[in-house]
Chains A and B, each alone.
Chain A
Amino acid sequence: MLKKLIKIATISMISGTIMFAANFNAQAEKDRHAFVNYFLKKFENPVANRAKYFPYVPIEELKKDYIYPLKFEDFKNGPMSWYRPAKEQFAEINDFPPYEIPLDDGKELFTKPFANGKTYSSCFPNPAIKQNYPYYDTKRDEIVTIGMAVNECRVKNGEKPLKYGKGDIAKVIAYLADKSRGQKINIKIPSANAAKAYEAGKKLFYKQRGYLSISCNECHVQSAGKRIRAEALSPALGSTTEMPVYRLKWGGLGTLQRRLVGCIKDTGSEKPKMQSKPVKELAYFLTYMSNGMKLNGPDTRK
């Protein structure tokens, strides 16, 4: 009898844990469905739904320059997904993709032995792993980004860590991204603390900041699909798929975090540090929102 009771108690504890574990992403999944749904509805038929989503865009422009209806996968192309002039311009630029040379450099860096004779392969035996980053490491109880993983690999092999954001680290990540091209983003929320980190990132995404008092959301959700002067605003959905990105403005590759801190600075607030907790949380939230989308980085943007 006692044995039976223990058995039942153990089973219910285990199943309880499993059920609880499955619930860490419950809120995030709700958010994500609403997020994706908003973008799909917004770009289903901008001409017919002008009053709801694009009240100030001239109707002739909606008819002439907007590409629709958009499917989930289309959003990985940023402003080129919906804005015909941008699509045409970038199709031409990507005839000879400007990221190709830094990508070749990345391959060289990845395969070149460290002083100890090992290479990055000792840490990344399968380089097609970018779809899992950033991930929440439950043992370390923190978000691990792909930049951190690259630098930890270097330190483990007796090398100095690289400076974050651009240069060699962006090139190595570009190689990993290229090898992961076509893989679907797969961000998990494995613990209560991971769910907290996600919520913190979400809060940052919707927080008005800087002297312009604008949030990520205001430009890249609400105003996605509109123009700030002649520039087409990119949708937040799919905005991490092209990373690291070759920006014409930078004249080189940059990582997701470089882009994020740059954007935050543009709102007129102090530039946060790359790999700081809030920037990692923001990246975690933003990448989660594009779960299931195929990676297509490195790519080119303005």
Chain B
Amino acid sequence: MINAKKLLVLAIAGMLGATIANATGNEALIKEGRKVFTTKKLGNCLACHAVQGDAGIPQTGDIGPKLANLDTYPKEYLFNKIWNPNKTVPDSVMPPMGKSHKITRHQVDALVAYLQATTKAK
């Protein structure tokens, strides 16, 4: 009985811990995504896009739309759009940053995490 209780406590603690770790992991990913977005040698996304909900990015360009409400899109859609926009829009001005190996799969995931978290409608 005691053992069962102990196990339960352990299990709950483990679950809580996992959730906290997950949240921290997500935050780290969001932070990394912002870095990819704003760094010229990485995504350089700010050259063309502003971000709704992140007014702290200086001198964003206006070739592409101001990104907003991206939490309403499936993750996979956003990933593919960043990976290779020419797949769905052949003459898209947006560069295929993933396909051309300018950024990694992980960095595209980070961008998606950052954009979905930041542009969420409040």
Contacts and interface: CB of A to CB of B under 8 A. Distances in A.
B86 to A, nearest CB: 6
A209 to B, nearest CB: 11
Q: Is the interface of A mostly helix, strand, loop or mixed?
A: loop
B100 A268 contact: yes
Given A56-B65, A213-B96, A213-B100, A230 B59 contact: yes
A183 interface: no
B80 interface: no
Interface string B55-81: 000011111111000000000000000
Given A56-B62, A58-B62, A229 B100 contact: no
A228 B61 contact: yes
Contacts of B91: 208, 218
Contacts of A214: 93, 95
Interface stretch (A1-9, A158-166, A219-227, A285-293): A219-227
A202 to B, nearest CB: 15
B105 interface: no
Chain B's interface: helix, strand, loop or mixed, by majority? loop
A229 B47 contact: yes
B93 A218 contact: yes
Contacts of A213: 86, 95-96, 100
Interface residues of A, number: 22
Interface in B68-122: 86, 91, 93, 95-96, 100-102
A208 B91 CA distance: 8
Contact of B60 (A208, A229, A233, A268): A229
Contacts of B59: 229-230
A223 B95 CA distance: 14
B95 A211 contact: yes
Nearest to B95: A212
Interface in A251-299: 268
Interface string A95-117: 00000000000000000000000
A57 B95 contact: no
Given A211-B100, A213-B86, A213-B100, A226 B63 contact: yes
A55 interface: yes
Contacts of A55: 65
10 contacts: A56-B64, A56-B66, A208-B86, A211-B96, A211-B102, A214-B95, A222-B93, A226-B62, A228-B48, A229-B61
Interface of B: 46-48, 59-66, 86, 91, 93, 95-96, 100-102
Given A227-B61, A227-B62, 4 more contacts: A61-B62, A212-B95, A223-B63, A229-B59
Interface of A: 54-58, 61, 208, 211-214, 218-219, 222-223, 226-230, 233, 268
